[in-house]
Structure 1
């Protein structure tokens, strides 16, 4: 399968490790874990990425999930998969893109779900916010959220691997809606284009880890423009 390799934080070119450097490097972002994006998507490609991210190269670190809505919303398809990491350290982040009809009408919509370890920067790139993580303010809200404190209330609630999971809105460009939270001890992002597509998260969205089981009924579509750099 064709693979495009780029910087997870800015989408720019990266240089492989060499005799002078042991890290992958971006001219603008410095050492990074390279992002690998499959140019097309189908069951064999998703299975290949799932095998890659569950490889024991990561040592004792838990595997990064490959979160995907399942069942898919009506009329939606999977349109891309990606992972960030290298051969030495294993996967540090994943992304799954889906496309379908916008919930409020008016054309197509896209969703990208990102799971990542702290400091990778893939989710904030798609969300259009600065830094490698969603910030101390959001982290504090997640840690301190209680029903008695309405200011800490989540803006969306989904089910992740069978567990109710809150997400908080993060300030993003007006062309998208972005939410962040935690699942399995890692950052979880949901980014929707256009911003009105964020209403999909108000429905009963259930995320399933494709690395654990690949539903044979999963439907695939044309490659997502957002997963391939249009952010």
Structure 2
């Protein structure tokens, strides 16, 4: 990773490694996986991220009617690889108006999903998943449960798939209606698929 990066938990500018430490740091959160500037929605920009990814880059497929892929970002550096990913998609809200969705996959402790949800810790926290799930997604023909996470002005759902946290963050909160029926997710790292992704303008919801 070169150039400017931010903390995935709070968005503050990250301090680059020095001669005394090989880790990126945040003044508030200590050692972090630095979050790169958002990548433009294109096949070339996506390809530049996938080669270093240690977590999935999830995309709903097929996309909801009228929706477009609107950008990507990843958290990590040359030493660690990408340990947190975010894919943005945007389109019409089922309940009216425009909507945005960020799909985050991350290793425990990265904090990208929790940062988007406004949580104080890096993960969903104590008591998470103690009740019945509020939604599901489909991954490889299996349903994965998601639980609602309290957040202001957006709908946030979190769960676990293949050892990584999965977060779905939707603006506005009424866009959570997209999950009335399970979304099917595909991992863009999968070399066996060649999805013809429709791209739109870069989403302003992407951090960094």
Q: Give TM-score scaled by structure 2 length.
A: 0.93
Of 93, 99, 116, 1:109 maps to 99
Of 136, 146, 149, 1:167 maps to 146
Q: Which has the higher helix share?
A: 1
Aligned length: 206
Of 183, 189, 207, 2:185 maps to 207
Secondary structure of the residue that 1:120 maps to in structure 2? coil
Pairwise CA RMSD: 1.6
Of 115, 118, 125, 2:108 maps to 118
* Counterpart for residue 7 of structure 2: 7
How many angstroms apart in 1 are the aligned matches of 2:60 and 2:168? 11
* Counterpart for residue 90 of structure 1: 81
Q: Give TM-score scaled by structure 1 length.
A: 0.84
Aligned pair in 2 of structure 1 residues 26, 110: CA closer, same or farther (>3 Å)? Answer: same
Secondary structure of the residue that 1:15 maps to in structure 2? coil
Secondary structure of the residue that 2:99 maps to in structure 1? strand
Gaps of 5+ in 2: none
Q: Is 1:36 aligned with 2:15? A: no
* Counterpart for residue 68 of structure 1: 59
Of 109, 126, 133, 1:154 maps to 133
Q: Is 1:187 aligned with 2:177? A: no
Secondary structure of the residue that 1:198 maps to in structure 2? helix
1:37 CA drift (Å)? 3.2
Gaps of 5+ in 1: 54-62, 142-151
